[in-house]
Amino acid sequence: MFGRFMNNYYYGKSGKGDYRKEDLPTNRMQLFWEMLRVRLAGLFRLNLMTIIAWIPLVVVLANYISNIYGLLGLIAEVDADKAAATAEQLRMYEQSGDAFYSLTFMALLYLIPCIAITGPFQAGMAYVTRNWSRDEHAFVWSDFKDAFKDNWKQALGVSLITGVVPLLMLVSYRFYGAMASDNVLFIVPQMLVLTIGGLWMLALVFLYPMMVSYKVGFRMLIKNSFLLAVGRLPQTLAVRLIMLVPTIIVGLLLFYTPYGLYALMGLAGYYLLIGNGLARFVYASFASAVFDKFINPNIEGAVVNRGIVDLDSLDDEDDDEDEVEELPTYPGATLPERQDRQA
Residue 277 has pLDDT above 90, yes or no: yes
Angle at 128 between CA 124 and CA 131, to 5 degrees: 140
pLDDT confidence tier of residue 339, bands split at 50, 70 and 90: very low
Q: Residue by residue, what is the 3-state secondary structure of the chain?
A: CHHHHHHHHHHCCCCCCCCCHHHCCCCHHHHHHHHHHHHHHHHHHHHHHHHHHHHHHHHHHHHHHHHHHHHHHHHHHHHHCHHHCCHHHHHHHHCHHHHHHHHHHHHHHHHHHHHHCCHHHHHHHHHHHHHHHCCCCCCHHHHHHHHHHHHHHHHHHHHHHHHHHHHHHHHHHHHHHHHHCCCHHHHHHHHHHHHHHHHHHHHHHHHHHHHHHCCCCHHHHHHHHHHHHHHCHHHHHHHHHHHCHHHHHHHHHHHHCCCHHHHHHHHHHHHHHHHHHHHHHHHHHHHHHHHHHHCHHHCCCCCCCCCCCCHHHHHHHHHHHHCCCCCCCCCCCCHHHHHHHHC
CA distance 54 to 186: 37
Digit-coded pLDDT (tens) for 158-214: 999 999 999 999 999 999 999 988 889 999 999 999 999 999 999 999 999 999 999
Interatomic CA distance for residues 132 and 36, integer angstroms = 8
- Stated pTM of the model: 0.83
Residue from 278, 6, 20 nearest 133 by CA: 278
* Cβ proximity of 59 and 142 under 8 Å: no
Contact by Cβ (8 Å): 209, 284 = yes
pLDDT digits (tens, 9 = 90+) for 50-99: 999 999 999 999 999 889 888 888 888 888 877 777 888 888 888 888 89
- Highest mean pLDDT, choosing among 8-12, 13-17, 37-41, 177-181: 37-41
Q: Note the pLDDT of residue 7.
A: 53
